[in-house]
Amino acid sequence: MHAIVCVDRNWGIGKNNGLLFHIPADLQYFKKITENKVVVMGGNTLLSLPGGKPLPNRINIVLTDIFTRDDCIIVPTLKELFIELEKHDTNDVFIIGGAMFYNTMIDYCESAYVTKVDDFCSDATAFFPNLDKKHNWSLIKESNNQEDNGYNFVFTQYINTRIKEIKY
């Protein structure tokens, strides 16, 4: 299981239930990595997607006990989420947000794809855990500098050397 996220310099990821940046090249990168895989998210993130709709060409699993719907798999509890995840190859599973759900799931992930944008959003209200401050996480890959839509950023990958075992 992996996490995938786009952060600012302060590990900010969102504001007003939306993203901080519009970077088409990062959206393409996200699509390339997650297409035909399993994406797992919290309820707010589903509602924040275009049209509030699940992502096409992916199995969408959403943790929420507030609503149900039939265009994606809704699980109301973490236990039910873990049971659902047993049906899938763990290598195909991507945690895609948001802040609350990343916090819940990050310790179970073996790696994290982190797009780091060289910008600071003082109005960010949602944050990803700072992996540089978590001693079991190590940066293993960093791309060359990228530029798109006026933003400078790098694609990085971190690995977790102490993956938490799923128990329920």
Ligand X SMILES: NC(=O)c1ccc[n+]([C@@H]2O[C@H](COP(=O)([O-])OP(=O)(O)OC[C@H]3O[C@@H](n4cnc5c(N)ncnc54)[C@H](OP(=O)(O)O)[C@@H]3O)[C@@H](O)[C@H]2O)c1
Q: In the complex, which residues of this chain contact ligand X (CB under 6 A)?
A: 5-6, 13-14, 17-19, 41-45, 48, 63-66, 78, 96-101, 104, 126
**What's the rounded Cα separation, in Å, for the pair 122 and 10?**
9
How far apart are CB 65 and ligand X at their closest, in Å?
4
Nearer of residues 63 and 160 to ligand X, judged by Cβ: 63
Nearer of residues 13 and 161 to ligand X, judged by Cβ: 13
Nearer of residues 1 and 161 to ligand X, judged by Cβ: 1
Nearer of residues 14 and 160 to ligand X, judged by Cβ: 14
**What's the rounded Cα separation, in Å, for the pair 112 and 66?**
28
How far apart are CB 123 and ligand X at their closest, in Å?
11
Which value, to the nearest 10 degrees, does the dihedral of the CA atoms of residues 6, 107, 130, 65 take? 60
Q: What is the DSSP letter of 102?
A: H
Q: How far is CA 134 from the centre of its chain?
A: 17
Q: How far is CA 58 from the centre of its chain?
A: 14
How far apart are CB 10 and ligand X at their closest, in Å?
12
Q: Are 52 and 2 in contact (CB under 8 A)?
A: no
How far apart are CB 14 and ligand X at their closest, in Å?
2
